[in-house]
Structure 1
């Protein structure tokens, strides 16, 4: 019923491709670098296999294409925290979970929330797991999905 679970390297590559590189480049006034690697090569600092990187890029494009809808959901239900005020990691995790569970309906809502909290524990601040869970819970309850 749920989608394929990502391994840790895929998650790292996906998060970086999705928002970290483009937003960091925008903040520095530079464009994100792009390059091509051969079919058997590995790329990136974490040595992500090219096939996993390509899947991550496809997901990133899908999420980016739905950002207006995702951010509208966040804005509607997260009245105290606008996306611009959220940390980059928290914002990215929330956007990914909403895309997977609400927009694309690729994974069950409960699974998306659980995986988002795990990602927040791994990559966010000490407050991230509670914050991510709170924002996502408010949204899915508001949409009557739980």
Structure 2
């Protein structure tokens, strides 16, 4: 449903909440929307700005608007699980995201998703403990900025190995 929200231009917290409510109220499915699906949708909607900021921070050379829409939806779910769901470990969320990407996206997507989400998981404590108004504190920004070159380098090299970033000179990023 995050993919649907994005395609419809509803990928704002309000739009995602509305789509979640719409699907719960007016479903044509034979079974109701699972509770965990609702929890994911509402969690992503609640933390969308922070999730997108984390994704953008670790993928500077690959802006969110240039990512395949399916990949963005997959990464938003996994980033929410990594950062805001204490019941899911980072490796479990990353593995699930990669498996979905293998089935639903491009051949290069699982490697890119693995690298990007791995970088987010490495900064899990800093990213998930930011201020409640969805802005990063000065300390969190400093930690992120100090980690971005190394983490992005890892993401870029992983993505390049899969052919995602062929046009970028990775040596200039170090």
Higher relative contact order (CA 8 A, sep 6+): 1
Aligned length: 116
Residue equivalent to 1:36: 26
2:73 matched to which residue of 1? 92
Task: Give, in whole Å, the separation in 2 of the partners of 1:98 and 1:110.
Answer: 11
- 2-structure distance, mates of 1:79, 1:144: 21
Q: Which has the larger radius of gyration?
A: 2
Segments of 5+ residues of structure 2 without an aligned counterpart are 11-17, 127-174
The two structures have a TM-score, normalised by structure 2, of 0.57
- Any unmatched runs of 5+ in structure 1? 1-16
What's the CA shift string for 1:57-99, capped at 9, x where partnerless?
Answer: 3421221111101111112222212211111111111111110
Matched, 1:26 2:9: yes
CA root-mean-square deviation: 2.7
Q: Does 1:140 align with 2:130?
A: no
d(CA) in 1 for partners of 2:82 and 2:120?
11
Provide the C-alpha distance between the structure 1 equivalents of 2:105 and 2:117, rounded to a whole number of angstroms: 15
- Any conservation in 2 of the 1:78–1:138 contact (CA below 8 Å)? no
Partner of 1:50 in structure 2?
Answer: 32
State how far apart, in whole Å, the 1-side matches of 2:115 and 2:107 are: 14
2:74–2:97 CA contact under 8 A, matched in 1: yes
Question: TM-score normalized by structure 1?
Answer: 0.67
